Chains A and B, each alone.
Chain A
């Protein structure tokens, strides 16, 4: 063999080996058939979703039932309808799908949920010194009662302290958590304004295996308090079904941290954190990858019950409330603090 031949053979050998190694390892799943998308969805949920037990989901049965349906689906609409059915069965607001960033299939398609008309409500009850800031509203509900509402993450201790010092809370504070539908886990830092010292806000658990019951121990989540709102200030927290996820976590933590009263209706739940992953075919899946418990290690996924229940039918909120700003939950909170 000449040196030239040898060199040629050698290079060929090296490239063959490299191609062999590369081709042996297939890491990308490109099956975008309807069944392929469903299988990807099923598999990711199977390995990583955290609430199979709590939701009493027979995941194997779901695969058995839905595989033929997805395999025979003829159109995108049929696939979307099947996914919507599945999302309702899972019944977890943190599990939803989107298609190419446009179409969203979620558990929030429930038309019986309505958000409140806060501006009208504040006008109706003649709130003073209203201060709208991104994600937070401050107001003087009566001369001696302060009103506070957060809509999502709010963390700015210095600002919070300086603003709160301008309001009179001698009879109490209303924290309105209604329609606080979520944010990031860091949003729980809002709780630090209401306590002092290092306190546990909640516990978290993560998967440590692919089995439905493979979980880590409980990890405590700590907050170091700023105590901007003193412990002796009476507090009422107003809640409704739209207090979800981060809102639900904050309600749970405030309830454990302070001697406050929860008023209104059950929170919507959402006890966990979400991961977004790409399936095939342009679908994106969001699922709950960690679960949270309150300081007594009770689940908060199904929501938190109020101490004082004040409910009104959907029609009331849709009609009277949206036309006049009337708010029986706020009225009850004012009544409690005025006693």
Chain B
């Protein structure tokens, strides 16, 4: 546990340092407009789950999402977003066939407050209410090579804290958002794993929250760096995101690191 905290804070420190540098090197501030951004993306994933994938597996991710940001309104700005990802986890020992499919979904919205508001640079902090869900599902190929491979899933309704930074450099706008899970509650697999009343449907068991998640049992760090460009008067964005998560609810831990590249249109 202690090692986890140290590692997590080391990560926060690096990202904080980067944001600190960013503030100092950016100069002026730009007025924002309402932004509607549908985007798609791809990426890679490493996932380890002590319960069902203890040796870890690599995966290829595809994703799509939609993000809305309201224009600046004095010191407060609202946003909402939805994102869905699917990763195919494969193994070279099974001809790179997909063994598990890993599904992730996020639905969130929040407020931000501007702590720095200059002509071409702004820095804001905020809170985002989020519903997140994850599900790992064995593929039919996996079922043919392993007898009854298990599935794994969880959901969380919680709050994330984020730090967002924007800077206009010439015609290009740069943005970076770093977020981490603060607190929440939801269903995480832990004993007894399913309903003990055999006459019950399993759904009633899984929909009942069984865990309070917080900074120390669910480390969730997400950093997304975006470049806003205009080519032939069409505004779009390119992003690079890195997401690290470690669930430490019981002795079966889950960890993943996911790198993704996004391409979006700004409407």
Contact = CB atoms under 8 A, between A and B. Distances in A.
Contacts of A18: 223, 225, 240, 242, 259
B119 interface: no
Interface stretch (B31-39, B43-51, B180-188): B43-51
A221 B192 CA distance: 10
Contacts of A28: 46, 48, 55-58
B25 A6 contact: yes
Given A47-B50, A278-B99, A219 B197 contact: no
A309 interface: no
Contacts of A162: none
Interface string B202-242: 00000000000000000000010100000000000000101
A3 B172 CA distance: 11
Interface stretch (A172-180, A206-214, A294-302): A206-214
B146 A276 contact: yes
B18 A278 contact: no
A41 to B, nearest CB: 10
Contacts of B197: 221-224
A98 B147 contact: yes
B257 A22 contact: yes
Interface residues of A, number: 58
Contacts of B48: 27-28
Contact of B240 (A7, A14, A209, A216): A14
Interface in B1-33: 11, 14-15, 18, 21-22, 25
A131 interface: no
B41 to A, nearest CB: 15
A149 B91 CA distance: 41
A328 B231 CA distance: 86
Contacts of A22: 242, 257, 259
Contacts of A279: 55
Contacts of B170: 3
B56 A10 contact: no
Given A7-B169, A220-B196, A25 B55 contact: no
Interface residues of B, number: 55
Given A10-B25, A10-B174, A186-B198, A204 B192 contact: yes
A21 B92 CA distance: 24
A27 B257 contact: yes
A interface: dominant SS: mixed
B199 A224 contact: yes
A221 B198 contact: yes
A234 B243 CA distance: 62
B168 to A, nearest CB: 11
Contacts of B15: 17
A71 interface: no
B162 interface: no
Interface string A10-52: 1001110110111001111110100000001001100110000
A284 interface: yes
Interface in A90-143: 98, 100-101
A188 B198 contact: yes
B52 A206 contact: no
B51 A98 contact: no
B96 to A, nearest CB: 12
A44 B198 contact: no
A101 B144 contact: yes
Nearest to B44: A22
A276 B147 contact: yes
A14 B99 CA distance: 33
Interface of B: 11, 14-15, 18, 21-22, 25, 46-48, 50-58, 91-94, 99, 144-150, 169-170, 172, 174, 176, 191-194, 196-199, 223, 225, 240, 242, 244, 250-251, 255-257, 259
20 contacts: A10-B22, A18-B225, A21-B14, A25-B257, A27-B256, A28-B48, A40-B54, A100-B145, A101-B145, A208-B250, A208-B251, A216-B191, A221-B196, A221-B197, A224-B199, A274-B148, A276-B150, A278-B53, A278-B146, A286-B146
